[in-house]
Amino acid sequence: MDKPCINVGILGWGTVGTGVSKILVNQHALIAKNSGTQLCLKKIVKQTLPASRPGVTLPSDCLTTNPAEVVDNPSIDIVVELIGGVSGARALISRALQNGKHVVTANKALLAEHGAELFQLASQHQVSLNFEASTAGGIPIIKTLQESFAGNQIRSLYGIVNGTCNYILSEMHEREVDFADVLKAAQDKGYAEADPTLDVGGIDAAQKLILLIALAYRSNLSLEELYVEGITNITQKEIQYASELGYVIKLIAIAKLTDRNRVEARVHPTLLPERSLLANVGGAFNAVCVIGDAVGPTLFYGQGAGEMPTASAVVADIIDAAKSVQQGVSPPISQAWIADSEAEVSVCPIDEIETRYYLRFVVADRPGVLAKIGTILGNCDISIASVIQKDPHGIDTVSLVMLTHTAREKNMKTALAQIYTLEEVEGNAHLIRIEEEVAF
Ligand code: HSE
């Protein structure tokens, strides 16, 4: 006998909403066979109604402009929020949860800011709030951290979680072009947003890191607590010199347990050894490397954005929620944001991290300059691992490219402040942190 239908309503019929509707309508039988759930797409809310979309034929009366027909509709079991933004989505999700509906969302910005409040609400009303598509699109990293690695203490996590940045850096590496030119080409082709600030500034990756840290360490961080640096200052010279030294530059979201209650939480351009798997994640692809105390190093790779990969993650969440509805049981509530002071970790301030550094100084090509810089670094307990002098910059100036051994960030800041007072040094150094642990 056929199981009763679990009714789904979608808020938003943009790119991802269209992908979700395609899977729900066109793969209805496959989903039933694979998961034992009958999912029926009942309503889609769209501000201005398009007549149709290629690739999917919606049930009659499915489209509406009124969100109440989804969030307040007694016949809808699962609400899927795909409108994005923070305040409108927050209000609609809250209303749906209060009405006892399971909610699926892809909205990382909303959860990074209001996750605690929304998960409390879901817990109160014994419904699920699933968010697989919020981080790394089609890669099932949320479920993996929540379930598959639940028996691990996560030691560290390294993510390429912004496809736009990875695409830009990959193109800069492969085609030897400058940041601004690649960004413009990416925008012309529709790969990058018209306003790419959140992507290239590292904020999108930082929001995703907040969600990963909530799952890995049960710590509810705010954006202000993370160290965030985007890729806008990465020049073709850095790409080339890093490559000559055996490294590739990637924007990496990093979480690292340093001692019992502290976690490093930072997003910045990072030099990775070129032989490492993460360094070879090219184009707009995403990858997340998780190192657990039991499982050891693991790597998850796939498409982090786009219509069908993101829809794949959304549909997986809908199926999970549908199983709870069908079995009449309370869903497992994500413990990630539920306050538990004992389990909380605090953020290790950026000044206290210890890492290796790539440095490039533009200096006057005169005797003794390298010695002066080396002395200042040495006095600040920073040891140089290698140094090369690169081609002239202008009249009598050259680049000094250095790799350091592991040093404390605070010491590096002190040293740089002193180095900048040298009359032979032009402007600020190009500084990029190095991560070696991903070298598998
Ligand atoms: N703008 C994001 C990226 C995709 O470039 O990866 C959505 O999270």
Q: What are phi and psi of 11, to 5 degrees?
A: -95, 110
Residues in the chain: 440
143 catalytic, yes or no? no
- Range 29-41 average pLDDT: 95
The rounded distance, in Å, linking the Cα atoms of 268 and 433 is: 8
Question: Residue 233: helix, strand or coil by DSSP?
Answer: coil
Q: Best substitution site from 199, 207, 286 to test ligand 1's pocket, by max atoms within 8 Å of Cβ? A: 199
Question: Do strands 154-160 and 285-292 pair parallel, antiparallel, or not at all (unpaired)?
Answer: antiparallel
Residue-wise over 253-289: b if at least 16 C-beta within 10 A, else e? bbbbbeeeebbbbbbbbbbbbeebebbebeebbbbbb
This prediction has a pTM of 0.95
Residue-wise over 79-115: b if at least 16 C-beta within 10 A, else e? bbbbbbeeeebbebbbbbbeeebbbbbbbbbbbbbbb
- Range 233-257 average pLDDT: 97
- Is 230 within 8 Å of 190 (Cβ atoms)? no
pLDDT tier at 396, thresholds 50, 70, 90:
confident
Lowest-confidence segment of 332-346, 356-370, 387-401 by average pLDDT: 332-346
Structure tokens at 252: 């990496």
Query: What is the residue type of 168?
Result: I
> Which residue's alpha carbon is at the smallest distance from atom 8 of ligand 1?
305
- How far away, in angstroms, is 306 Cα from ligand 1 center? 9
| Nearest atom in ligand 1 to 193's CA | 1
Of 252, 292, 294, which Cα lies nearest the Cα of 273?
Answer: 252
Active-site option among 22, 208, 250, 256: 208
Lowest-confidence segment of 265-274, 337-346, 350-359 by average pLDDT: 337-346
The overall average pLDDT reported for the chain is 93
Structure tokens at 304: 């982090």
- How far away, in angstroms, is 124 Cα from ligand 1 center? 31
pLDDT tier at 335, thresholds 50, 70, 90:
low
Question: Do strands 5-11 and 38-45 pair parallel, antiparallel, or not at all (unpaired)?
Answer: parallel
Query: What is the residue type of 333?
Result: I
Delineate the domains of the chain, giving CATH numbers in brackets: 5-137+307-327 (3.40.50.720), 141-302 (3.30.360.10), 353-433 (3.30.70.260)
Question: Do strands 397-404 and 384-394 pair parallel, antiparallel, or not at all (unpaired)?
Answer: antiparallel
Question: What pLDDT sits at residue 433?
Answer: 98
